[in-house]
Amino acid sequence: MQNENSGALSGKKLVLGVCSSIAAYKAADLLSALVKMGADVRVVMTRNAQRLISPRIFQTLSRGEVYSSMWREISEWKPEHISLAEFADAMLVAPATANTIGNFANGLAPDLLSSVFMAIDPSNVLIAPAMNSAMYSHPSLRRNMDFLKGMGVSFIEPEYGALACGAEGKGRLANMDDIVSAVLKKLTGGNP
């Protein structure tokens, strides 16, 4: 898919949110594919995601700063969560955890990623969950997802298969081609 869509995202701006799912390593491949397609991607990592995978990987692949804190010194007058939301044509959260989805659905903004979500049009947000199958099927998560869908947020459904915890079920991060297709559709109106 990547070769046939080279340049398809040229000029498009995307915020990529990376949460603390074990699938965080797959976000590096996803970022690489999006950049090769011409997208200008700014990465926002949760604090716990940085415990699983180094921000330096995302910094190198995006050729830009990786954002994670609301409280670092800034060189511009506008706080990051506002400037990132204004920068983005769309926001993709992949992988997304139950915690982050819950924050989004309940209007909580305890971190930079959730704060960016609060400052962006929900219809410009794509979420690719990745978690244990019991968590993914939990009524609280389903309620939160349904609420977000009602706000216009798009979800890229996870796959069924072997999970990192040893269980088998629905919860694996969606196939990269499916995520890239959803981003293409969102950013090009379905006309890559």
- What b-and-e string marks burial along 60-84, b requiring 16 or more CB atoms within 10 Å of the CB? ebbeeebbbebeeeeeeeeebbebb
Q: Are 92 and 129 in contact (CB under 8 A)?
A: no
H/E stretch holding 115: helix 112-118
Whether 78 shows a pLDDT value over 70: the answer reads: no
Q: Give the number of other CB atoms < 10 A from CB of residue 36.
A: 16
Residues 135-172: pLDDT tens digits? 999 999 999 999 999 999 999 999 998 778 788 889 89
pLDDT band at residue 190 under the 50/70/90 scheme: low
Task: State yes or no: pLDDT of 91 exceeds 70.
Answer: yes
Q: Tell me, yes or no, if 165 is annotated catalytic.
A: yes
- Helix axes of 55-62 and 24-36: crossing angle, nearest 10 degrees: 10
Domains of the chain, CATH where assigned: 13-188 (3.40.50.1950)
pTM: 0.91
Q: Give the span between the Cα atoms of 133 and 167, in whole angstroms.
A: 8
Selected catalytic residue, list 38, 55, 165, 181? 165
- pLDDT, average across residues 32-51: 96
Q: What percent of the chain has pLDDT over 70?
A: 91
